[in-house]
Chain A
Amino acid sequence: GQQVMQIPQYQHVQEGEDFTTYCNSSTTLSNIQWYKQRPGGHPVFLIQLVKSGEVKKQKRLTFQFGEAKKNSSLHITATQTTDVGTYFCAGGGSGYALNFGKGTSLLVTP
């Protein structure tokens, strides 16, 4: 079945440094979603990408969907302590359900 791999598993940065997490799928995705989960919380939807090569920005966050629709990335510019949490990607295929990556846990130290 469809597999979504996410790297790195953990990332520790100093406040102000940039951060990137990557998702790769073994099959072509119809769309990809990104979520953020704060410690002790539940996943919160950030964005959906649908088009090949799509790039979307939300303030310091930049999301990209690859040309082949098999990979995606989330880049955070100049991290802040409020960015701490686990970032998940989830790929949509032909069915109703999403396949989640295992997430990247981001730790930001001041």
Chain B
Amino acid sequence: DVKVTQSSRYLVKRTGEKVFLECVQDMDHENMFWYRQDPGLGLRLIYFSYDVKMKEKGDIPEGYSVSREKKERFSLILESASTNQTSMYLCASSSDGQIKYFGPGTRLTVT
């Protein structure tokens, strides 16, 4: 019953490290999303992709980049991790405007 998976549930990285968060979906969805979730701030969109090799900035793209080389995989990259990027990162996918499935999340701590 796998729908959206994320490479790690918990991750601890040091300031300045390059961090890769991987997301894979098995529903052949065109659209994939990366959100971060922080207490009191809800879910904020970082980047999304509506097709292979296509990407669009969300509300808070600074400090992040993404890669979508294959339809099923959407990667979030933190070029140089900083402590203010400590957060829960959620990946999601959709075939239309309806996001039905989120991944389990990656709780990233940057020390």
| Chain A neighbourhood of B44, CB < 8 A | 100
A102 contacts partner chain B, Cβ-Cβ < 8 Å: yes
Which of B41, B45, B56, B94 lies in contact with A102, CB distance below 8 A?
A: B41
A90 vs B37: C-alpha distance in the bound complex, in angstroms?
14
> Is B42 touching A101 in the complex (CB atoms < 8 A)?
yes
A98 vs B104: C-alpha distance in the bound complex, in angstroms?
19
A85 contacts partner chain B, Cβ-Cβ < 8 Å: no
> Is B43 touching A33 in the complex (CB atoms < 8 A)?
no
> Is A97 touching B45 in the complex (CB atoms < 8 A)?
yes
Stretch at the interface among B20-28, B63-71, B79-87, B95-103: B95-103
| Chain B neighbourhood of A102, CB < 8 A | 40-42
| Chain B neighbourhood of A90, CB < 8 A | 43, 99
28 A–B pairs (Cβ distance < 8 Å), ordered by A: A6-B42, A9-B40, A31-B97, A31-B98, A33-B98, A42-B90, A42-B104, A43-B90, A43-B102, A44-B102, A45-B100, A88-B42, A88-B43, A90-B43, A92-B98, A96-B48, A96-B50, A96-B94, A97-B45, A97-B48, A98-B45, A98-B99, A99-B45, A100-B35, A100-B43, A102-B41, A102-B42, A103-B42
* Chain B residues within CB distance 8 Å of chain A: 31, 33, 35, 40-45, 48, 50, 56, 58-59, 90, 94, 97-105
* Chain A residues within CB distance 8 Å of chain B: 1, 6, 9, 30-31, 33, 41-45, 48, 88, 90, 92, 96-103
